[in-house]
């Protein structure tokens, strides 16, 4: 009898999930009054040309050598490191007027920088560079190149520039040691793409009446690189995801900003996939989707001192789509503020997947006005309904510590799969209060969630089952990661 009741509630929950989580929640988009950072002033007013870059005032600075590093430290006998050359895009013919296509100049500056170890490619302040889809490709480049971005790079908005659809706008690939730094802005001018709804009913056109492709590009993507640093810059208004790392190792992202409206569709902040040893800290993200999205193949991910919101919070997944195997391990998220988002910290997997998510810790998370702060959803589905399947990406060793603040819908939701229950969930110092006390709020929800409460929680989470599930398939070959 009790089980019948539970199943009924569970059906209701699925309905709830489908209508609430899987669709874009209006409530999430309605309140976007507060951003964490002040918006930088509109980039269109940035153009201030210093004479004519190519022929006029500015001297040819490319190939200028920086002063050799001081070698007068007593007792140091090291050979002087190779002197670093700088390559300024203005010297390669870039106009920086925000209108002329500067793609070729960027390609030429890169070709030169690529040949010199430790060189710096310079995108100077106070110019606005219109640059089309571009690849800073590295298999034959020297190591440790710096991309010094102090100006603004803007994306083309005409359909012609995007041909039949591209996955990214600016990419860096196959580099050993690449740093993007500076106070510059990567401006995706994404608003013309955002109205292009998934329903295909209202295809949008550019100024010339040409249709933009349906595939929306990621603004900045790193692929197959080792020792990658992104710091100082702002990436804003991307058509889709802002910053993506795929197949990278030893990645550092800090002191940077992602900024787009809370109602811009699919504009993830930072997306990690097949990447290891990643540090993200002192970074502010406001966007229309996950602030950080951790996908399959990610391990040793360390996130701290980050502000997120508006957006959909920090998420692992969706994993296991289309019966794929997914592996994520050793993720730490600590000292994070999450404000005005759909979910806070979330793990989402599709039915039918395999593999596992293991060793995850969320600690010291300050939550404000979040619809559902703590979520595990093993029934993730971004359509109106998904087929019920038994296999699932297994979840084990998920720790939540000191997660405090206010929610607007439900404090905690653990919806785990029957065939592969969540195990070893630990909760310590959870204090979540409804934003408006008089409202009727949903209770904590658990389904097939096993673990331990180490301290009393607010509200009480009585639905977490103590101990281990009887059938734990985590160690089957199918799921080994
Ligand atoms: C999947 O299972 C749930 C719970 O048993 C049930 O409510 C739902 O109707 C099923 N969905 C489909 C598409 O079969
Ligand atoms: C600038 O100087 C470098 C090296 O002296 C030369 O190779 C390059 O062609 C020059 N560029 C322009 C735009 O004059
Ligand atoms: C990583 O990159 C930095 C900056 O480019 C460089 O100084 C450092 O030597 C690199 N480290 C390794 C291990 O390659
Ligand atoms: C952060 O980046 C900005 C440029 O956007 C720079 O001015 C500032 O010095 C950096 N702060 C730190 C602590 O590195
Ligand atoms: C992020 O926001 C905080 C709070 O507004 C601010 O102090 C900090 O400087 C911001 N960081 C960056 C990188 O802009
Ligand atoms: C987990 O990640 C941390 C840093 O994020 C690292 O120090 C630690 O060695 C990793 N553990 C394993 C088992 O890889």
29-41 average pLDDT score = 37
Residue 355's pLDDT band, with cuts at 50, 70 and 90, is very high
Q: Is the pLDDT of residue 223 over 90?
A: yes
Residue 2's pLDDT band, with cuts at 50, 70 and 90, is very low
| 3-state percent breakdown (helix, strand, coil) of the chain, nearest 5 | 15, 45, 45
244-254 average pLDDT score = 98
175-197 average pLDDT score = 92
Q: Ligand 6 center to residue 253 CA distance, Å?
A: 17
pLDDT for position 130:
98
Q: Ligand 1 center to residue 377 CA distance, Å?
A: 15
Ligand 1, closest atom to CA 386?
13
127-147 average pLDDT score = 96
**What's the order of all strands across the beta sheet hosting 243-246?**
134-137, 168-173, 218-223, 243-246, 270-273, 292-294, 314-319, 343-350, 372-380, 412-415, 445-447
Least confident residue range of 168-172, 408-412, 469-473: 469-473
100-105 average pLDDT score = 98
Distance CA 432, CA 452 (A): 18
pLDDT for position 436:
84
217-221 average pLDDT score = 98
What value does the CA radius of gyration of the chain take, rounded to a whole number of Å? 24
**Looking at domain 83-289, what is its CATH homologous superfamily?**
Single-stranded right-handed beta-helix, Pectin lyase-like (2.160.20.10)
pLDDT for position 413:
97
> Closest Cα to atom 13, ligand 6: which residue?
330
For ligand 6, is residue 302 a contact (CB within 6 Å)? yes
Q: Ligand 3 center to residue 149 CA distance, Å?
A: 19
Q: Judge whether 83-289 and 309-481 match in fold.
A: yes
Pocket probe for ligand 2: among 65, 91, 111, the residue whose CB has the most ligand atoms within 8 Å is 91
415-436 average pLDDT score = 94
Ligand 2 binding residues, C-beta < 6 A:
60, 62-63, 91-92
| Average pLDDT score over the chain | 84
Fold of 309-481: Pectate Lyase C-like (2.160.20)
Q: Is the pLDDT of residue 9 over 50?
A: no
60-72 average pLDDT score = 43
196-209 average pLDDT score = 52
For every residue of 56-84, DSSP letters joined together read SSS---TTEEPPPPP--STT--PPPPPPP
Nearest bound ligand to the CA of residue 386 = 1
Least confident residue range of 115-129, 197-211, 314-328, 378-392: 197-211
Q: Is the pLDDT of residue 57 over 70?
A: no
Q: Is the pLDDT of residue 422 over 70?
A: yes
250-262 average pLDDT score = 98
Distance CA 273, CA 328 (A): 9
Q: Ligand 1 center to residue 104 CA distance, Å?
A: 55
Q: Is the pLDDT of residue 321 over 70?
A: yes
Ligand 6, closest atom to CA 332?
5
> Closest Cα to atom 3, ligand 4: which residue?
232
* β-pairing verdict for 120-123 and 128-130: unpaired
Catalytic positions, written as ranges: 289, 312
Residue 376 three-state SS? strand
pLDDT for position 411:
96
Which sequence spans correspond to the domains of the chain?
83-289, 309-481
Q: DSSP letter at 383?
A: S
Which H or E run includes 294?
strand 292-294
113-117 average pLDDT score = 96
Nearest bound ligand to the CA of residue 359 = 6
Name the more confident of 243 and 57: 243
């Amino acid at each position: 009898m009790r089980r019948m009741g539970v199943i009924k509630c569970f059906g209701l929950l699925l309905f709830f999930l489908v209508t609430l989580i899987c669709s874009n929640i209006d409530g999430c988009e309605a309140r976007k009054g507060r951003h964490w950072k002040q918006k930088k002033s509109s980039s269109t007013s940035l153009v201030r040309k210093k004479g004519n870059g190519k022929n006029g005032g500015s001297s040819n600075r490319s190939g200028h050598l920086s002063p050799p590093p001081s070698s007068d430290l007593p007792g140091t006998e090291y050979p002087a490191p190779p002197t670093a050359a700088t390559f300024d895009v203005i010297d390669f013919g870039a106009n920086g007027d925000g209108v002329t296509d500067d793609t070729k100049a960027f390609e030429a500056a890169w070709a030169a920088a690529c040949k010199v170890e430790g060189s710096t490619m310079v995108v100077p302040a106070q110019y606005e560079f219109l640059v089309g889809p571009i690849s800073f490709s590295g298999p034959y480049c020297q190591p440790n190149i710096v991309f010094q971005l102090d100006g603004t790079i803007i994306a083309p908005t005409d359909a012609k520039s995007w041909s039949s659809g591209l996955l990214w706008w600016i990419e860096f690939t196959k580099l050993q040691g690449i740093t993007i730094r500076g106070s510059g802005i990567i401006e995706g001018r994404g608003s013309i793409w955002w109205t292009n709804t998934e329903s295909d009913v209202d295809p949008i056109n550019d100024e010339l009446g040409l249709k933009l492709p349906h595939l929306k590009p990621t603004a900045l993507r790193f692929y197959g690189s080792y020792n990658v640093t992104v710091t100082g810059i702002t990436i804003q208004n991307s058509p889709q995801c802002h910053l993506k790392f795929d197949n990278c190792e030893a990645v550092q992202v800090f002191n940077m900003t992602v900024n787009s409206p809370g109602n811009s569709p699919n504009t993830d902040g930072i997306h990690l996939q097949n990447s290891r040893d990643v540090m993200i800290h002192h970074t502010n993200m406001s966007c229309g989707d996950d602030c950080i999205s951790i996908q399959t193949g990610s391990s040793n991910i360390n996130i701290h001192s980050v502000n997120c919101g508006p957006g959909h919070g920090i998420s692992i997944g969706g994993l296991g789509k289309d019966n794929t195997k997914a592996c994520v391990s050793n993720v730490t998220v600590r000292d994070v503020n999450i404000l005005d988002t759909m979910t806070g910290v979330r793990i989402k997997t599709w039915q039918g997947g395999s593999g596992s998510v293991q060793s995850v810790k969320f600690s010291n998370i300050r939550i404000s006005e979040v619809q559902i702060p703590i979520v595990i959803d093993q029934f993730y589905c971004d359509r109106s309904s998904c087929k019920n399947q038994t296999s699932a990406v297994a979840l084990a060793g998920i720790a939540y510590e000191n997660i405090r603040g206010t929610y607007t819908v439900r404090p905690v939701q653990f919806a785990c799969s029957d065939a592969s229950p969540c195990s070893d969930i630990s909760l310590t110092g959870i204090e979540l209060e409804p934003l408006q006390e008089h409202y009727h709020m949903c209770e904590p929800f658990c389904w097939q969630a096993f673990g331990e409460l180490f301290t009393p929680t607010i509200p009480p989470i009585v639905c977490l089952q103590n101990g281990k599930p009887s059938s734990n398939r985590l160690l089957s070959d199918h799921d080994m990661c």
